[in-house]
Amino acid sequence: MRSSADDHSAPVSGASDQQDQAEYQSMRVAASTPSKAFFFDIMGTLVRDPFFEDMYRHFGFATHADFIAAKHPETWIRFERGEVSATELARLFFRPRQTLSPALARYAKFDPDRFESYLRDSYAFLDEGMESLLAWLASKRPRYTVHAFSNYPRYYRLIEEKLNLSRYLQWTAVSCEIGVRKPAPEAYIEAARRAGVPLSHCVLIDDQQRNIEGARKAGFGAAILFPGTSASLWPQLRASPIRSRRALTMQLAVKKCSRSGMVANRLRYDHLSAIEQRRPKRCMRHLMKTRHRCHITMMNNLVSKEVFTDRER
């Protein structure tokens, strides 16, 4: 026969068992749905890259082509890998003056302090909606994490000083720190290692096709090529809360990846550019519904790429 003490202890034990079971289920769910890591390229994806826009003017060259002709082809790449110091950059940035024509040699002069000041003034978000996009994604922590994954030299610290990107992401993998550049496989492996997630749970957002291919070959779960939407959709996108066609479409793509089971057997892709000129309203409708369609090229190492056609699925 049970005592009164037994009568009181039974409910407590049952409540404890239920709590333990709930915690166990929570742990199982967490283990079965590991967090994803979103790796953003910085220059040309989030931040304006002065190199391709007006750096030639900073040095006084008439054209970008003249600037490229005078610049040493390997120095900046080595600088991005951390193989060249800031002091050496001033000496090696341009080809030897004796090998240049007088017209080019006239402007092949590198002032480190003036150059850093120019860069600091030039850095800005690529589009007005990029900061809103990063803030939105950062608000999803710790469900998934956000990282910088950039081919860039020590000047990334100037970007941080100017734009304070660390509010939204971690400077996890910058080539000058890890000693290797995309699209080398080692760069992706090191980025995933530093983020503490498997390669299959990594998503790259980049503006260069070769880096997207590198992510696929290295084993990233997904990669988003983001050159931006076409101008034909821009008037209709102005009503969006994020007033940037790049930021909006990037957000749609990121949402797609965040909702998809990248470790499962299937991740679906669609590309709307084939129909946007002929049927822009329909294209816009699919974009705004954020279903399975993003105006963006996406790839995944697990499945083949699908292309959205004019036919309803």
Kindly indicate the confidence band of residue 140, based on its pLDDT and cuts at 50, 70 and 90.
confident
pLDDT at 212: 85
Going by C-alpha positions, the residue among 83, 105, 84 that lies closest to residue 94 is 105
Highest mean pLDDT out of 116-125, 235-244, 260-269: 116-125
pLDDT, greater one: 227 or 275: 227
Which of residues 12 and 264 earns the better pLDDT score? 12
Q: Pick the residue with more confidence: 26 or 166? A: 166
Amino acid at 106: R
pLDDT of residue 115: 97
For the whole prediction, is pTM greater than 0.85?
no
Sheet bearing 297-299, strands edge to edge: 170-174, 144-150, 36-40, 202-206, 222-225, 297-299
User: With bands split at pLDDT 50, 70 and 90, how would you rate the model's confidence at 28?
Assistant: very low
Tokens of 299: 């790839």
Interval 247-268 mean pLDDT: 50
Residue 251 confidence class, pLDDT cut points 50, 70, 90: low
- What is the average pLDDT across 277-288? 40
User: 22-26, 53-57, 150-154: which has the minimum mean pLDDT?
Assistant: 22-26
Residue 75 sits at φ, ψ, to 5 deg, of -60, -50
As a whole number, mean pLDDT of residues 150-176 equals 97
pLDDT above 50 (res 112) = yes
d(CA 154, CA 151): 10
- Measured CA to CA, the distance from residue 151 to residue 229 in angstroms comes to 24
292, 268 Cβ separation under 8 angstroms = yes
Exposure class string for 21-38: b at 16+ Cβ within 10 A, else e: eeeeeeeeeeeeeeebbb
CB atoms within 10 A of CB 180: 19
Q: 78 vs 9, which has greater pLDDT?
A: 78
**Mean pLDDT of all residues in 168-179:** 97
Is it the case that residue 44 has pLDDT exceeding 80? Answer: yes
Give counts: helices (H), strands (E), the chain.
17, 6
Residues in contact with 240: Cβ distance below 8 Å, sequence separation at least 6, in sequence order: 248, 288
Angle at 226 between CA 224 and CA 231, to 5 degrees: 145
How far from chain centre, in Å, is Cα 247?
12
pLDDT at 218 over 70: yes
Decide which of 52 and 120 is more confident. 120
Q: Cα 209 from chain centroid? A: 13
Indicate if the pLDDT at residue 309 is higher than 50: no
Write down the pLDDT at residue 121: 97
Q: Which residues contact 184 (CB under 8 A, 6 or more apart)?
A: 214
- Selected residue with higher pLDDT from 277 and 87: 87
- The average pLDDT across 238-248 equals 48
In the prediction, which pLDDT does 29 show? 42
Q: Could you tell me if 226 and 249 are in contact, meaning their C-beta atoms sit under 8 angstroms apart?
A: yes
Reported as a pLDDT band with limits 50, 70 and 90, residue 281 is very low
Which of 84 and 136 is assigned the larger pLDDT?
A: 84
What average pLDDT does range 96-107 have in this prediction? 96
Nearest-angstrom CA–CA distance, 67 and 143: 45
In this structure, the chain runs to a length of 313
